[in-house]
Amino acid sequence: MRFLLRSGVSLGGVIPTRIEELAGALEARNYLAGDDLVVAIHLALQLGRPLFLEGEPGVGKTEVAKVLSDMTGEQLIRLQCYEGLDVGQALYEWDYARQMLEIRLVEARGGDVGSKDIMSRDFLVARPLLQAIEASRNGRRAVLLIDELDRADEEFEAFLLELLSDFQVTIPEIGTISADDPPIVIITSNRTREIHDALKRRCIYHWIDYPDRDTETAIVRRKVPGIDEALAGSLASAMARLRSMNLFKPPGVAETLDWAESLRLLDSGSLTPELIDRTLGVVLKYKDDIEAVREAGVEELVG
Amino acid sequence: MTTTLGDLTSFARELRDAGLGVTPDQIAHMGQALTLVDPAHEPSVRAAFRSLTITDPGQIETFETVFDAFFHRVAEEDAPVYSPEYTQPKAVKPLFAPAEPAPVGDVDTRTGSSATERLAARDFADMDEDQLAEARRLVTTMFWRPPVTRTRRWIPDGGGQRPDMRRTLRRSVGPGGDLLPIEMRRRRVRQRPLIIIADISGSMERYAELFLVFAHAARQHLGSVEVFTFSTRLTRITDDLDRRDVKSALASVGGTVLDWSGGTKIGDALAAWNRQWSRRLARGGPVALVLSDGWDCGDPELLAREAGRLSRSVHRLIWLNPLAARQDYRPETRGMKAVLPHIDRLLPAASVDDLAGLVSLLDTMAMNSPS
């Protein structure tokens, strides 16, 4: 709430205030978002809430943060999550080497070292979360990507819940450091485990699905310049069929783009069964899945 | 489409009735959202409200049902009022299926007889009702300690292997002195999750009953345990086993599981697990226990493939086969032959002794040593 009132004054500028402008700005950056996703992004930007994106791998979750960073002209601050991620890696860490050096220096001059001398901001190394807080001042809002939160453990999630509610940190030796405006936060999850409901409730939630055939064709044509329109279309159709095949790991849009790029390199004008057979490894990454598709017949993917 | 604050409150109430928790904060945000998107454009309002209220893709359908019912009614009526006769949509999943007759008889709590030792070694299939009751009691009281793994988190430990710079520096600025005492730290350990998948087909009936008592004890004592059953289909029964009392837990399982004593399709069950649950539950290096005698009427190639996939996604795959308790047992059924190359251990599970042996194996399972 606090943020809504305050950001109402300082926002504007590079963040589109109208939803149509936002849709245009995303498209201009070659991000073809569905209408619902545009609404979710708009709400997140205007309400100052984190955007929580879930979906199968490779549907363009991380890409949203990159596009928003480009749109706002703010640097993208990225926190890649992993098990055991702790405050020292995510928020801040003391610069021990400098602290030791300082102790030695002061002592060499015959002085006494107090905790105030070596426990100040100068001796602090800012990690992504603190960087984002410190970069969200004076009317600026950093773009913070918290990627693959499902890889972090529950302890980190609990810590993040606290941080996301007020974007301030209290460092016992220094005091409280806070953001003027909430950073633009994008949280992604591949859903390898459930993220706690309390955290998701603080966010604008959106499930990114696989794009429909026409959208995927359009994405391919924008991202892989020079690709034949018909080829882009048959790639999108083939992908839709692959995704309906109950594979262990259905391919995402990222795989579609890799595939399109490969076919362009091979200078192929159309998608033939032989070509699919030879390039299947670009799209499917599990031996079982490749075998399943070959068994069903690669020609099923054409036409 | 015009929406008042009163509408929003009623809408939130209907969402809550349908099983979606909505906080006052979220209602306020829905109100603000109406100033941010075109309130007359239904798809935008729908997307906005959805992104503000759901927290899981499984809730999308529920949300859509409530949204359609509510706003179409609001659009029809001029004065939007909450109508009690509105039939509430089905919640995503019922909390508990109606309790049906328990698959096992009463759990007897009589004190152990002098024959306990002999009973412990006896095959479940050869027991009478009294002996079975006693066996259940023995299984329930087994002492559990989970296998552990080292996490990536650190805790202070004077005998640890790595210096703890943070604490060292903090201590060093206290009362002066030339010596800098180095604080040490080590990796913390945590328990490995346990995944239990039990065959409840006809040939396994009696063993499965006892094994579910065993699984209940595991769930109660360890917490981080997921339990599934299968004969022709895979069913997750973890929630049922959360009931404290073993009798009502098993009664609840009886209501949830629909394929008791059916045929056996082990490969299909493992395939379903690998696709629906593996990515969510196979984190943190779990130990998987599969209980089955290997009598399979499915495709052995499928079984081999899926057992292989399962074994690659967990830390250890332990196969429990009641028949393996017999002296002359050879894993010669098609099913057992198919899974044999993929499992870490094949253990018997026909008596209280066997289950106790399993508990102590899990107990001693060293962190990273081969099984």
What are the pLDDT digits (tens) for B36-74?
888 888 899 999 999 999 988 888 988 999 998 888 776
Residues of B with CB below 8 A from A117's CB? Answer: 173
What angle, 0 to 180 degrees and rounded to 10, lies between the N-to-C axes of helices A229-243 and A273-283?
A: 60
User: Rounded to whole angstroms, how far apart are CA atoms B362 and B358?
Assistant: 6
Token pair 């899990």 in the structure block, residue: B362
**CA quadruple B34, B36, B39, B44: dihedral, nearest 10:** -110
pTM: 0.70
Q: How far is B37 from chain A (nearest CA, A)?
A: 7
- Contact residues on chain A for B166, CB-CB shorter than 8 A: 88, 94, 96
Residue among A223, A247, A237 at smallest CA distance from A270: A237
Question: Average pLDDT in the A140-166 region?
Answer: 90
**Which of B23, B52, B284 minimises the CB distance to A43?**
B52
More confident residue, B345 or B140: B345
Question: Shortest CB distance from A40 goes to which of B21, B51, B274?
Answer: B51
Percent of chain A with pLDDT over 90: 57
When pLDDT is averaged across residues A156-185 and rounded to a whole number, the result is 90
pLDDT of residue A183: 95
Measured between beta carbons, the chain B residues lying within 8 angstroms of A36 are 43, 47, 50-51
Residues B184-236: tens digit of each pLDDT: 888 888 888 899 999 988 888 888 888 999 999 888 888 789 999 998 889 99
> Is A49 in Cβ contact with B169 (below 8 Å)?
no
Chain B CA closest to residue A42: B36
Hey, are the CB atoms on B283 and A193 less than 8 Å from each other?
yes
Residues of B in contact with A192 (CB under 8 A): 279-280, 283
- Do B48 and A43 count as a contact with CB atoms less than 8 A apart? yes
Q: Mapping DSSP to helix (H, G, I), strand (E, B) and coil, where does residue B91 land?
A: coil
Q: Which residues of A touch B168 (CB under 8 A)?
A: 96
| pLDDT tops 90 at residue B366 | no
HSE-CB at B287 with a 13 A cutoff on CA atoms is 28
Least-confidence region, from A41-50, A89-98, B327-336: B327-336
d(CA B141, CA B356) in angstroms, rounded, equals 10
Q: Are B37 and A39 an interchain contact pair (Cβ–Cβ within 8 Å)?
A: yes
Nearest by CB: A205 against B25, B54, B172: B54
Range with the poorest average pLDDT among A146-160, B306-320, B321-335: B321-335
For A205-229, write each residue's pLDDT tens digit: 999 999 999 999 999 999 998 888 8
Considering chain A, what percentage of its residues have pLDDT values greater than 70?
95
Q: Which residues of B touch A (CB under 8 A)?
A: 21, 23, 25-26, 28-29, 32-33, 36-38, 43-44, 47-48, 50-52, 54-57, 60, 151-154, 165-166, 168-170, 172-173, 176, 274-275, 279-281, 283-284, 305, 309
What pLDDT shows up at residue B84? Answer: 34
| Extents of the domains making up chain A | 2-85+127-207, 92-123, 213-301
Quick one: residue B168, left, alpha or beta (phi over 0 = left, psi -120 to 50 = alpha)?
A: alpha
Per-chain mean pLDDT for chain A: 88
Amino acid at B37: V
- Sequence-distant (6+) residues with CB within 8 A of B209 are B103, B104, B250
Q: What integer pLDDT is reported at residue B370 of this predicted model?
A: 40
Residue A231 near residue A240, CB atoms below 8 Å: no
Of A137-146, A282-291, B5-14, B156-165, the poorest mean pLDDT is in B156-165
pLDDT at B272: 92
**pLDDT at residue B150, as a whole number:** 77
**pLDDT computed for residue B138 by the predictor:** 79
- Average pLDDT of every residue of chain B: 79
Q: What is the pLDDT of residue A280?
A: 93
Element (H, E) at A190: none
**What tens digit of pLDDT does each residue of A104-127 get?**
888 888 877 777 778 888 899 999
CB atoms within 10 A of CB B362: 21
B4 versus A213: the higher-pLDDT residue is A213
Report pLDDT for B109: 37
Contact residues on chain B for A186, CB-CB shorter than 8 A: none
Average pLDDT over residues B73-83: 50
In this predicted structure, the answer to whether residue B106 has a pLDDT above a threshold of 70 is: no
- Rounded mean pLDDT, A7-33: 78
pLDDT in tens, B245-286: 888 888 888 888 887 777 788 999 999 999 889 888 887 889
Which residue did the predictor score with more confidence, B165 or B92?
B165
Give the one of B29, B47, B151 whose C-beta lies nearest to A35's C-beta.
B47
Contact A119 B173 (CB under 8 A): yes
Per-residue pLDDT band for B2 (boundaries 50, 70, 90) equals low
pLDDT recorded at residue B75:
64
CB contact under 8 A, B33 and A43: yes
What pLDDT is recorded for position B170? 74
Q: Which CATH class is domain A2-85+127-207?
A: alpha beta
- Please give the pLDDT value at position B1: 55
Nearest residue of chain A to residue B38 (CA atoms): A19
CA angle A296, A269, A248 (to 5 degrees): 30
Band the pLDDT of A196: cuts 50, 70, 90: confident
Give the A:B interface size as CB pairs under 8 Å: 106
Tally of CA atoms within 13 A in the half-sphere of B207 that contains its CB:
26
Has residue B111 got a pLDDT over 50?
no
Token reading at B224: 């981080």
CA angle A70, B26, A68 (to 5 degrees): 5
The distance of A124 to chain B (nearest Cα, Å) reads: 12
**pLDDT greater at residue B242 or residue B182:** B242
In the numeric block, the tokens 């250890």 are attached to B316
Q: Helix or strand or coil: residue B163?
A: strand
Residues of B in contact with A155 (CB under 8 A): 153
Nearest Cβ partner for A4 among B32, B52, B283: B32
Which segment of A9-13, A240-244, B283-287 scores lowest on mean pLDDT?
A: A9-13
Give me the mean pLDDT over the A162-189 stretch. Answer: 91
ipTM at complex level: 0.73
